Amino acid sequence: MQKIGVFVCWCGSNIAATVDVQAVSDTLAKEPGVVYATNYQYMCSESGQNLIKDAIKQYGLTGVVICSCSPRMHEATFRKAVASVGLNPYMLEVANIREQCSWIHKDKALATEKAITLGRAAIAKVQLNAPLQAGESPVVKRALVIGGGIAGIQTALDIAEAGFEVDIVEKQPTIGGKMAQIDKTFPTLDCAACILTPKMVECSQNDKVHIYSYSEVTSVKGFVGNFTVSIKKKARYVAENKCTGCGECTTKCPMKNVPNEFNLGLDNRRAIYIPFAQAVPKVATIDPNYCNMLKNGKCGLCAKVCTAGAIDYKQQDQVIEERYGAIVVATGYNPIKLDKFEEFDYSLSKDVVTSLELERLMNAAGPTGGTLLRPSDGTHPHTIVFVQCVGSRDTSGCGKPYCSKICCMYTAKHAMLIREKYPDTEVYVFYIDVRTPGKNFDEFYRRAVEQYGVHYIKGMVGKVAPRADGKIMVQASDLLANEQLHIEADMVVLAAAIEPDKSARPLATMLTASMDTNDFFTEAHPKLRPVESPTAGIFLSGVCQGPKDIPETVSQASAAAAKVIGLLVTAKLTTNPCVAHCNELMCNGCSSCERVCPYGAITYVEKEFRMPDRTTQLRRVASVNPAVCQGCGACTVACPSGAMDLNGFSNSQIMAEVDAICQK
Amino acid sequence: MPEVNAYKPKIVAFCCNWCSYAGADLAGTNRLNYPADVKIIRVPCSCRVNPMFILRAFQRGADGVILCGCHPGDCHYTTGNYYARRRMTLLFSMLDYLGIEKERTRVEWVSAAEGAKFAATMNDFVSTVAALGENKRLEDLRCKE
Amino acid sequence: MQGMMIARAKELLQNGTVNRVLGWQTGEFVYDITPAVFETAEELDEKFVYNAFCGNNLSKYLVKETKKDGKILVFLKPCDTYSFNQLLTEHRFDREKVYAIGIPCDGKTSGEMVKSKGLSGITGIDEDGDNITVHTIYEDKTFNRDEILEERCRTCKSKKHVAYDELIGEDGEVLDSHRFDMVAKLEAMTPDERFAFWRSQLSKCIRCNACRNVCPACTCEKCVFDNPASGIAQKAAADSFEENMFHIIRAFHVAGRCTDCGECSRVCPQNIPLHLLNRKFIKDIDELYGDYQAGAEVGSRAPLVNYTAEDVEPSIVYHREGK
Amino acid sequence: MLKISLSKIQDLFAAIAADEALYIPADNAGQPQFMRWQEGLAMTDALNTVRSAKDFFFPQTENLVSFKIQGKSIEIVDPRTETEDFVVFGVRACDVRSFSILDRVFLVDPKDTYYENRRKHGTLVSMACSRPAETCFCHTFGIDAAEPEGDAVCWKTEDSLYIRANTEKGEKLLEKLRPMMEECGDEAVKAQQEKTHEILGKLPLNNFTTEKFDGDVLLKVFNSDKWKSLSEACLGCGTCTFVCPTCQCYDIRDFDTGHGVQRFRCWDSCMYSDFTLMASGNPRTSQLERFRQRFMHKLVYFPANNDGIYGCVGCGRCLSKCPISMNIVKVAKCLEGEL
């Protein structure tokens, strides 16, 4: 029989205002096994913790029940407290009488009754608790960064700087991501390439950083400190170690009409290509969908012109397996597809472009060499209309319910740059709200309006219709003036909402990291642990966690790096002792548990058993690797004989809770 | 909220630690009401819930049992709720086949961000079960006082 | 058939292929057949029998028999081969220690079936093709085999052997049985009617465990219902709840693993149609997750240890048609 | 002897049930079993019920004592309420005899007061057999299927029911029924008995005997190597024990109700692996030993301790219900050859 102490917390008035804490401790004091019960204003405070520690010593408590806030809040705190006086930390249970009781009920009698029941359930469980010992597992001193945009680059460089090996996996032929496509950055208007490319180069030159470009993660096994990751290096048909990046092949390839994705299809590239001049690694890649040699076996021109002999048409996809202690997700974003927004005529008119396309049209390395020209006829546009919130803050189901956060600022940037370079151009911006919360952001926006004379109009664009003469009719409402506007525009720029990259969802499944309904990765705590995933050892960097601009991305990237470094410097991790275990005497060796284990933690051994009739029998029985098991409990239900059970959440413990709850 | 003297169903809610239990906490943090008849049992994952626990709850006098877990695809353990989904589908179907009111059992996916959904779900479930009245078909008379 | 089986068994004993033979032996009244292990040609000649009453599924005995030294010959009817495969899938016996001979089956009957036709005082039974004549101290009566087949044989799912080392006679086909008709009929009832039906059936249960102990899927080293530590151990149904509990959990534990061999219903002393519980799970699995026959192939993944991301939600139970 | 037309049998039942609970063998979802009579419930045509009549005196589960727990206090409650009087009607000769065997277990010191109480309150009305089955062998134990024991005994013919009291309890019951019945001679009964005896002579187990078994052959039987093949196919289920009218083993268990504990007993089966389980394990560790125990008990130990009375009444239930068709007849015939 346990000697149990019950500690009821008032949480100031958070609990005490709705729950009669005195009645709770008085009633629970009478429960079988309870030798001490009390209540106190703040159990989590130092004096509250001392109260618990003193009672453990004075009454020789073998089990502790805390009736307080959610165990997700302070279970760890209390476990540490009881451990400090020698009680096994797993001999403690928390009854959640705040979030799941006092805060949701108004009737004091009902809430008190419920608090007592929840306390009883915790007592019933603790009666059956057994001391558990946390194990230890080593940490592999290497990190993986998935995604080679500015977020991934910054994280990787910071980790490398601390002296740890770090690998970047990037699915494109080059790292750089979206930032490489951007012309200027707000609010400073400095050139994106000028600040990004040195970091890209640093990545290639830092011997702690290894870049797997044109590669994808195909499987992730293991757990914090000890992940095993398979990386598929897609065949680029060019030997990376031989290619000098001279670019000769990319000028000789006869396949000239391949849409250039770096320029968002606004111009063409060859079948063999280097995405852009500062690409890292600067290595050519053959696009197998267009290469005649790969498709029909006819051509081979690039191989002929390559003096380095780097072309290898027989190259195969290669799968590399590598072990890591930590994984950072930096998979970034894409603008949403605009097919659904028929009113903006994006797919019909070449002169209706997205903001990212506009970036390329204004970039010196872009398709127009930096001169802003209409994609349809190459003429200078004189009237440009910007439409904000295309698919953002959209609850109609067409777009995204969230604010994409960066559009207000980059549109101000675009408007300003156009007015600066082409003062004869009229610029209209239709917005719902202009959001500028950031250092020097509002000042930047005001400059666009006041100094550059950009026409900001609060209102919605109802219809964008191209006319036969090349003009685009924009029909909009001005909500402040309460009038309908008809603007003859030369170009329309849509601030398309951004969404997480499509590769994120399957990756999340592989990582067992959770996502929200918009496919952004969920953080372990929205305020207190914003760069960690709830899955231990998985960290978040950049827009994969939520929309953010470059400065925010970089700070989060560094924060994630700091967390990774903190993990990698740890010699050993303590493992969760709440893992499955097999009662070999009852195990049938049927493999049901093994089949449902997501971690491969269960293996089988042939063991000799002494049977009741004094004979020995060789039997196949399951064995759980406690370092690999994460304690989900799937196996415990798959096992028909009940040989599999879970520490901390055993069948008998859960049934005792059920009993206690249903009792009265 | 049920009337003062209205019949009070006993509801056991199994919530997975990572999503639904956190969702329930969020409902509390946001002060979203639902009846005190709902008592939550924390389990690591929806796949930890053995059909035995559900029957046990009914035996001991529960009038309704609800299982909440992460949305399919979001399981902290990747696949746990997929197994739970199959198990519960078959179990509930079997209970229905035996003529036991199917409305007494439910599975709902509630994420850590869905405090409002948690409260709404519980309100709805409690009123559904309250409308059915006491569990008579899967009770154990020995457990009645 | 019996003669061929005995001859082949003797041959295999003699040439040392096997050390023992698992088959059926005669009883007092023709119909009371007992599974038995034979070690000599004489025993086979004296007692080995294969007739319309050899309903016992022998595959479960292999769990015990393969723990012994030597190799055993087992005769398997088509439906027994599914249990055989399922046991192999779950690593319950050593395939190397078994020599399996598939034998044809025209459907089985039982003493209980014959008696249910109002006959009593049975003194002898003759089989002549499809005619089965029962002699009693009161009268003689001839039946067409189909009239007195057990339910599981009237709705036979397969005459095909899915596992064997050799086959005596022709192999059959998987049949288009109507084995789910009764389940569908129950599903079409109102919940009140279903409740009344199952209450009247399950209240007959005497918790003798025959269904469990004969079941080839119930080979647990220790059954949860026998294990005081499981929290649900029970030796008798002290309350109607325990009747429900036992049968629901038992059906659930074999769900996706049950081959629908029908032994549970055959052995139930109270004639509870227990197979209707297992078949409900099989029917649901087929409908919701795609056709699956436990034991059809060794190593297949049972539906309850499997999933797809697109599986139906449990709420389907609330709005399935005809509910 | 009294007589009543079968067409008025429901009236007879109504008259008995007016004062006390009446149980008759009837069909329940296709299975014959004793059921509490209420208007319209008809007697089954089946020879015998699946479960024997022992349930009425030694039910499958029974509360012995309850513990009420409140906080840290425990109160002990005797759950027994005075049992009501009851009549079990239509008990066959074999089942009636089983009570003299059960009495030898439960009514010797220390008396089982639960059993005794029920015996006191129960009246047994037996029913002679006219159409015995091939599994019947009650004559092996000196039972006359045409002349059963019991407080009162009935014979059912084509059109009438004849009834005669054997004991005071039976007399008391008949007193009450006399007004609705007519006095008659025993010619019809005699005729039926003669016919029944003729049929019994033709039954396949007519010559079956257990005479060779007694305490003197204990070791010989115990050590026989036949047990191995006899028990080989045994599934270890409890069917034989639970349908048996003379099996009397039980287990005592506690059930936690959430607000207390109910200590109850329930039938146990020597075929179960946890039978007589002790801290040191089960003394009979193999199915062979457990199987042997059941037949040794019925054929050897019981007669050795009870003036040569066997622990079997030849009702034949285990012959028709055993999933593998292994039974006391096969066992006795097989072992007999060794003696």
Give the Cβ contact number of residue D254 at 10 Å.
12
CATH number of the domain enclosing A405: 3.50.50.60
ipTM for the complex shown: 0.94
Q: What percent of chain A has pLDDT over 70?
A: 100
Name the residue facing B85 among C197, C285, C314 (closest C-beta): C314
Domain boundary among A568, A602, A627: A568
Tell me how far apart the alpha carbons of residues C2 and C106 are, in angstroms, rounded to a whole number.
Answer: 13
Residue A525 pLDDT greater than 70, yes or no: yes
Site of tokens 């049930």: D17
Helix or strand holding residue A166 (H, E)? strand A165-169
Residue A653 maps to a domain: no
- Please tell me whether residue A600 adopts helix, strand or coil conformation: coil
Q: Which chains touch D (3 or more CB pairs under 8 A)?
A: A, B, C
Query: What pLDDT is stored for residue C318 in this prediction?
Result: 86
- Neighbors of chain C by Cβ distance (3+ pairs < 8 Å): A, B, D
| Residue B86: closest C-alpha in chain C | C304
Q: Which pLDDT value is given to residue B1? A: 42
C263 and C292 in a single domain? The answer is: yes
Q: What is the spatial distance between Cα C240 and Cα C35, in angstroms, rounded to a whole number? A: 34
State whether C256 and C279 are in the same domain: yes
Nearest one of C217, D34, B15 to A99, comparing CA atoms:
B15
The answer to whether C220 contacts A592, with C-beta atoms less than 8 Å apart, is no
**What pLDDT shows up at residue C79?**
95
Q: What is d(CA A428, CA A348) in angstroms, rounded to the nearest whole number?
A: 21
Based on the fold, state whether residues C123 and C192 are members of the same structural domain.
no
Q: Do residues A484 and A342 both lie within one domain?
A: yes
Q: Are A135 and A155 in contact (CB under 8 A)?
A: no
- Tens of pLDDT along C147-166? 999 999 999 999 999 999 99
Same domain, C272 and C307: yes
Of D205, D232, D266, the CB nearest to C238: D266
Residues 28-57 of C with CB under 8 A from B: none
Tell me which residue of B36, B122, B28, B34 sits closest to A103, measured CA to CA: B28
Are D66 and D117 within 8 A, CB to CB? Answer: no
Which residue among C239, C241, C307 sits closest to B82, beta carbon to beta carbon? Answer: C307
pLDDT tens digits, one per residue of C237-278: 889 999 999 999 999 999 999 999 999 999 999 999 999 999
Interface check for C205 against chain B (CB to CB < 8 A): the answer is no
pLDDT of C321: 57
Average pLDDT, chain A: 94
**Distance (Å) from the C-alpha of residue D331 to the closest C-alpha of chain A?**
23
d(CA D284, CA C209): 19
Q: What is the spatial distance between Cα A199 and Cα A176, in angstroms, rounded to a whole number?
A: 9
DSSP code at position C123: E
Q: How confident is the model at residue D72 (pLDDT cuts 50, 70, 90)?
A: confident
**Does B124 touch chain C if contact means CB atoms closer than 8 Å?**
no
The pLDDT of residue A390 is 95
Task: Give pLDDT tens digits for C205-226.
Answer: 999 999 999 999 999 999 999 9
C292 shares a domain with C164 = no
Query: Is the residue at A574 inside a domain?
Result: no
Residues C38 and C185 in one domain: no
Distance of CA B85 to the CA centre of its chain: 13
Closest Cα in chain D to B145: D259
C255 touches B: beta carbon within 8 Å:
yes
**Contact at CB, B55 and C186, closer than 8 angstroms:** no
At A390, phi and psi to the nearest 5? -85, 95
Same-domain status, C192 and C172: no
Give D111: exposed, middle or buried? Use CB within 10 Å, 0-12, 13-18, 19+. Answer: exposed
Contact B68, B16 (CB under 8 A): yes
**Of residues D69, D258, D286, nearest to A613 (C-beta):** D286
Are the C-beta atoms of C85 and C295 separated by less than 8 Å? yes
Q: Which pLDDT value is given to residue C231? A: 86
Does A322 lie in the same domain as A176? yes
Nearest-by-Cβ selection for A662 from D71, D258, D285: D258
pLDDT band for position A267 (cuts 50, 70, 90): very high
CA–CA distance, C112 with C92 (Å, rounded to integer): 31
Domain count, chain C: 3
Terminal C-alpha separation, chain D: 46
* Residues A339, A300 share a domain: no
Give the model confidence (pLDDT) of A592-623 as tens digits: 999 999 878 899 999 999 888 788 989 999 99
- Same domain? C95 vs C242: no
Give the mean model confidence (pLDDT) for residues A614-639: 91
| Domain match, A505 and A494 both | no
Split into its structural domains, chain A has a count of 5
Contacting subunits of A (3+ beta carbon pairs below 8 A): B, C, D
**Are both A470 and A492 inside the same structural domain?**
yes
Whole domain around residue C245: which residue ranges? 179-323
Per DSSP bridges, beta strands A190-191 and A184-185 are antiparallel
Q: Is the pLDDT of residue C322 over 50?
A: no
SS3 A625: coil
Q: With contacts defined as CB-CB under 8 Å, which chain D residues touch C261? A: none
Domain assignment of residue A164, given as a range: 142-234+318-332+501-568
**Domain range summary for chain B, segments of one domain joined by +:** 11-140
> Best of B71, B93, B107, B121 to disrupt the C interface by mutation (most C CBs within 10 Å)?
B93
Nearest to D310 by CA among D245, D220, D251, D249: D245
- Provide the CA D132 distance to its chain's centre, in angstroms: 17
What is the structure's pLDDT at A664?
Answer: 63
- Long-range pairs for D326-329 at CB < 8 Å and ≥24 separation? D326/C34, D326/D230, D326/D231, D326/D233, D326/D234, D327/C32, D327/D240, D328/D295, D328/D298, D328/D299, D329/C28, D329/D137, D329/D205, D329/D208
Q: Who among B79, B98, B106 is closest to C198 (CB)?
A: B98
Give ∠ CA D127-D130-D132 in degrees, rounded to 5. Answer: 100
Query: HEC states along chain D?
Result: CEEEEHHHHHHHHHHHHCCCEEEEEEEECCEEEEEECCCCCCCCCCCCCCCCHHHHCCCCEEEEEEEEEECCEEEEECCCCCCCCEEEEEECHHHHHHHHHHHHHHCCCCCCHHHHHHHHHEEEEEECCCCCCCCCCHHHHCCCCCCCCCCEEEEECCCEEEEEECCHHHHHHHHHHHHHCEECCCHHHHHHHHHHHHHHHHCCCCCCCCCCCCHHHHHHHHCCCHHHHHHCCCCCCCHHHHHCCCCCCEEEEEEECCCEEEEEEEECCCCCCCCCCECCECCCCCHHHHHHHHHHHHHHHHHHHCCCCCCCCCCCHHHHHCCCCCCHHHHHHHHHCCC
Residue A298 DSSP code:
-
Do A492 and A549 fall into the same domain?
Answer: no
User: C141 and C184 in one domain?
Assistant: no
Query: What is the identity of the amino acid at D215?
Result: G
Q: In chain A, which among 85-104 make CB contacts under 8 A with chain B?
A: 96, 98-101, 103-104
Residue D256: closest C-alpha in chain B: B143
The predicted-structure confidence for C24-58, as pLDDT tens digits, reads as follows 999 999 899 999 999 999 999 999 999 999 999 99
Chain centroid, CA B51 distance in Å = 12
Across the interface, whether the CB atoms of C304 and A641 are under 8 A apart is answered no
Which range of A512-521, A627-636, B120-129 scores highest in mean pLDDT? It is B120-129
Burial letters A504-520, b for 16+ CB under 10 A, else e = beebbbbbbbbbbeebb
> Can you give the C-alpha Rg of chain D in angstroms?
22
As a whole number, the mean pLDDT across chain C is: 94
- Amino acid C323: pLDDT: 41
pLDDT tens digits, one per residue of D220-272:
999 999 999 999 999 999 999 999 999 999 999 999 998 899 999 999 999 99
> pLDDT, tens digit, for every residue of A401-455?
999 999 999 999 999 999 999 999 999 999 999 999 999 999 999 999 999 999 9
Greater confidence, A543 or A525? A543
List of chain C residues whose C-beta atoms are within 8 Å of the C-beta of residue D28:
200, 204
C29 and C86 assigned to the same domain? yes
Cβ pair A134, A526 in contact under 8 A: no
Query: CB-CB: which of D30, D236, D329 is closest to C28?
Result: D329
* Same domain (yes/no): A190, A286: no
**Residues present in chain C in total:** 323
Q: Based on the domain organization, do C303 and C248 belong to the same domain?
A: yes
Q: How many CB atoms lie within 10 A of CB A379?
A: 11
Chain A residues in contact with chain C using a Cβ-Cβ cutoff of 8 Å: 585-592, 595-596, 604, 617, 619-620, 638, 640-643, 651-652, 655
Residue D132 carries which side chain, given as an amino acid letter? P
Q: Please tell me whether the peptide bond between A281 and the residue prior to it is cis, using omega within 30 degrees of 0.
A: yes
Instruction: Locate A174 and state its tokens.
Output: 């080059």
Same domain for A356 and A471, yes or no, is: yes
pLDDT higher than 70, residue A643: yes
Minimal CA separation from D294 to chain A, in Å: 18
Query: Does the structure show a pLDDT above 90 at D209?
Result: yes
Residue A29 lies in a domain: yes
- Say if residue C13 is in the same domain as residue C135: no
Kindly report the backbone phi and psi dihedral angles of residue C310, in degrees, each rounded to the nearest multiple of 5, phi listed first: -95, 10
Question: Is residue A516's pLDDT more than 90?
Answer: no
The pLDDT of residue B2 is above 50: no
DSSP A347: T
* pLDDT, average across residues A38-59: 97
Class of domain B11-140: alpha beta
How many B-D residue pairs are in contact by the CB < 8 A criterion? 9
With beta carbons less than 8 A apart as the criterion, state whether B118 and B38 touch: no
pLDDT at B3 over 80: no
Residue labelled with tokens 């085999």: C145
pTM value?
0.80
For residue B144, name the pLDDT band (cuts at 50, 70, 90): confident
- Nearest of D251, D259, D330, D263 to residue D295 by alpha carbon: D330
* Distance to chain C for A223, nearest Cα, Å: 22
Residues A542 and A595 in one domain: no
Predicted confidence (pLDDT) per residue in B80-134, tens digit: 999 999 999 999 999 999 999 999 999 999 999 899 999 999 999 999 999 999 9
Whether A656 is covered by a domain: the verdict is no
Which residues on chain C are in Cβ contact (under 8 Å) with B51? Answer: 248-249, 252
Show which of residues 47-76 on chain B sit within 8 Å of chain C, judged by CB atoms.
51-52, 55-56, 58-59, 72-73
Asked if the model's pLDDT at residue B4 lies above 50, the reply is no
**Same domain, yes or no: A185 and A326:** yes
The CATH number covering residue A59 comes to 3.40.50
Identify the residue whose tokens are 């029974």: D62
